Chain A
């Protein structure tokens, strides 16, 4: 009887240590929200990769975009949980730095996904789209499509939010620079003096905001013929506004993201071109990096010439323009997310 008990205790001990060994590499994924398809896809990519590598993944998300407190609590939970690393798409890129430092002090590898922290080196590494290049691609494409008319373009800029988060600024300024417009301070939008810009307005990145912002700018100048949008839902909203003004056929809309509905809108001619990014890739690379950190203590290295690891971006359009590399909507649809 005693032996039996001992045996049970032993096997229990063995089992639990085996369980511990399995738990050894655990990682956290903290996203801005779990409602945005972009982050849903990111989570899918991370989960698939984690399963493949035998990493335990725990996911956290803010309640809404901008929900900083929940992200701080999530980092604290991860530290307490003994995770090896954290993948985070930060809502507040400056304020989160202190909590990130706590995690790094506790020996966790912290990787910023999609959104670089401020300063960038507050995280061990950043896996992100080069949003400036994403903007530049659609800017060059729009200029190429207009040809000589680009000199007389009337441009509406549909941005994300008045708080001007870095992704908002980078895409906006990338577009303008790609289009050939002189920038003011490239750390903010709205200070350019080029008369071709009719105005900037904010959309909150959704259809409702896109439509309203487009209406506001059309009221300012009904002859707008180029529309930059922060993402595809706001582009869809802008298109509805243009339709109500009867202008949908003579305006070029460009966007960034490459979500599946967005690519379908490019195919249907609602959006002229969009820069596609790869959230699945970001997350998968992030999980690999944490696994490598846990196994051998190596940190990922950034792309040459950049302070982050560039996960790539492609221009999706069915109307290619000379001098700008692009893929068509069929390929875009194969690579799309959400």
Chain B
């Protein structure tokens, strides 16, 4: 029997660490981890920085509650469509038809009221149903027929856009007519102001949609399933998720939100114009990507999209106020998109 004190001394000398890989916990890798667990952090930082920079350059002209809420008004439409786009992209899909669904629904709301003489509320309901139905077609083709989302929505985009022009006969319904005969169509154009800050109902709707979706995605089974399907559809299926139903419901909800955006659009531009929203699909994808939602699906948060849309809005208004050529806005947004995807790739490399 050895001397217990000697044994204790031996114990004290032993190397307690277990076999491990050499790993340096640097500041950088901590940041990487933080960003991995909070995907909306990068766009939030960029947003705050860009507001600070433009605020410093432009002073009160930009850094006023008026100008900042103006940005909200300007991004509301793209933001609502972006919410729909986020849902789809979270399932590792893409929806190119969002803008076309929006404008077709708004045309249906307008023309059903003015051409068919329906009460505006019924016409709006028809528009919403139509949007949901187009979303269902998208979802059904993708989930049941197994066609790639890019191809399906590319086709539906063209079909919806052509139907829009054919049905509307390229006719604009003027704001003045809507105002006197069907003001309900312009509901989301109304606004109220709080200490210089102007909020349209459209802006409120935009923020409400994002908040509700953020909650649903995080705290409901359906929301978790959306992430699961996007992350690994096969694994989700094995875990008992009805992936088809989830996919179809995502595209239907996306269609519904786009149709709703069509209603908000009438409020914003006053009139029903079949030429609106032609670039909404690209703009919504831009907001989603800058917002840090991964195009590979399953990762990102809808709050990120909100920040992404606002970043684009801050840059376009800020640069215009600085008197820069509008072309610079596109150039910088291009840089932001690539930077966002590069950061996304880097975060993906995080060691779990």
Partners in one complex: yes
A residues with CB within 8 A of B: 34-37, 40, 64, 162, 190, 199, 201-202, 204-208, 211-212, 215-217, 219-220, 233, 236-237, 239-240, 243-244, 261, 264-265, 268, 270, 338
Which residue on chain B has the smallest CB distance to residue A245? Answer: B198
Which residue on chain A has the smallest CB distance to residue B158? Answer: A63
Tell me if B299 is interfacial: C-beta within 8 Å of chain A: no
Query: How far in angstroms is the closest Cβ of chain A from B104?
Result: 13
B326 contacts A201, C-beta separation under 8 Å: yes
Tell me if B120 is interfacial: C-beta within 8 Å of chain A: no
B172 contacts A261, C-beta separation under 8 Å: yes
Tell me if B275 is interfacial: C-beta within 8 Å of chain A: yes
B277 contacts A208, C-beta separation under 8 Å: yes
* 9-residue interface stretch from B7-15, B45-53, B67-75: B67-75
A201 contacts B320, C-beta separation under 8 Å: yes
Residues in A neighbouring B316, C-beta threshold 8 A: 216
Residues in A neighbouring B265, C-beta threshold 8 A: 208
Q: What does the 1/0 interface line of B73-85 toward A look like (CB < 8 Å)? A: 1100100000000
Query: How far in angstroms is the closest Cβ of chain A from B65?
Result: 12
Tell me the bound Cα distance from A179 to B27 in angstroms.
Answer: 61
Tell me the bound Cα distance from A211 to B273 in angstroms.
Answer: 13
Q: Which of A40, A202, A264 contacts B170 (CB 8 A)?
A: A40
B269 contacts A219, C-beta separation under 8 Å: no
Given contacts A201-B320, A219-B67, contact A36 B269 (CB under 8 A): no
B108-149 CB contacts (< 8 Å) to partner A: none
Q: Which 9 A-B pairs have the closest CB atoms?
A: A207-B269, A240-B270, A216-B320, A206-B275, A35-B165, A162-B327, A207-B273, A37-B170, A208-B276
Which residue on chain B has the smallest CB distance to residue A210? Answer: B269
Q: Which of A204, A205, A207, A212 contacts B271 (CB 8 A)?
A: A207
Tell me the bound Cα distance from A244 to B268 in angstroms.
Answer: 10
Which residue on chain A has the smallest CB distance to residue B165? Answer: A35
Residues in A neighbouring B330, C-beta threshold 8 A: 162
Tell me if B278 is interfacial: C-beta within 8 Å of chain A: yes
Q: Could you pull out 27 A-B pairs where Cβ atoms are within 8 angstroms?
A: A40-B170, A162-B326, A199-B323, A201-B320, A204-B278, A205-B275, A206-B273, A206-B278, A207-B273, A207-B275, A208-B77, A208-B276, A216-B321, A219-B317, A220-B321, A233-B172, A233-B275, A237-B270, A239-B175, A240-B175, A240-B268, A240-B270, A244-B191, A244-B198, A261-B172, A261-B174, A338-B171
Query: How far in angstroms is the closest Cβ of chain A from B19?
Result: 61
Residues in A neighbouring B277, C-beta threshold 8 A: 208
A211 contacts B326, C-beta separation under 8 Å: no
Residues in B neighbouring A265, C-beta threshold 8 A: 174, 176
Tell me the bound Cα distance from A37 to B191 in angstroms.
Answer: 32
Query: How far in angstroms is the closest Cβ of chain B from A268?
Result: 5
B321 contacts A270, C-beta separation under 8 Å: no
Chain A interface SS verdict (over half): helix
Which residue on chain A has the smallest CB distance to residue B267? Answer: A240
Tell me the bound Cα distance from A308 to B95 in angstroms.
Answer: 45
Which residue on chain A has the smallest CB distance to residue B62? Answer: A219
Tell me if B218 is interfacial: C-beta within 8 Å of chain A: no
Query: How far in angstroms is the closest Cβ of chain B from A89?
Result: 16
Residues in A neighbouring B93, C-beta threshold 8 A: none
A35 contacts B325, C-beta separation under 8 Å: no
Tell me the bound Cα distance from A212 to B77 in angstroms.
Answer: 12
Residues in B neighbouring A233, C-beta threshold 8 A: 172, 273, 275
Query: How far in angstroms is the closest Cβ of chain A from B69?
Result: 11
Tell me if B274 is interfacial: C-beta within 8 Å of chain A: yes
Tell me if B237 is interfacial: C-beta within 8 Å of chain A: no
Tell me the bound Cα distance from A35 to B176 in angstroms.
Answer: 23
Residues in B neighbouring A35, C-beta threshold 8 A: 165, 170, 274-275
Which residue on chain B has the smallest CB distance to residue A161? Answer: B326
Which residue on chain B has the smallest CB distance to residue A221? Answer: B61
Q: Which of A40, A190, A217, A236 contacts B175 (CB 8 A)?
A: A236
Residues in A neighbouring B274, C-beta threshold 8 A: 35
B275 contacts A36, C-beta separation under 8 Å: yes
Given contacts A37-B171, A244-B191, contact A236 B317 (CB under 8 A): no
Given contacts A240-B269, A244-B198, A264-B174, contact A207 B320 (CB under 8 A): no
Given contacts A37-B171, A215-B73, A264-B174, contact A208 B317 (CB under 8 A): no
Tell me the bound Cα distance from A233 to B269 in angstroms.
Answer: 10
Query: How far in angstroms is the closest Cβ of chain B from A31?
Result: 12
Residues in B neighbouring A338, C-beta threshold 8 A: 170-171
Tell me the bound Cα distance from A239 to B278 in angstroms.
Answer: 21
Residues in A neighbouring B325, C-beta threshold 8 A: 162, 190
B313-352 CB contacts (< 8 Å) to partner A: 316-317, 320-321, 323, 325-327, 330
Tell me the bound Cα distance from A259 to B176 in angstroms.
Answer: 16
B175 contacts A211, C-beta separation under 8 Å: no
Tell me the bound Cα distance from A265 to B271 in angstroms.
Answer: 12
Residues in B neighbouring A37, C-beta threshold 8 A: 170-171
Tell me the bound Cα distance from A204 to B330 in angstroms.
Answer: 14
Tell me the bound Cα distance from A215 to B71 in angstroms.
Answer: 9
Query: How far in angstroms is the closest Cβ of chain B from A290?
Result: 26
B145-187 CB contacts (< 8 Å) to partner A: 165, 170-172, 174-176
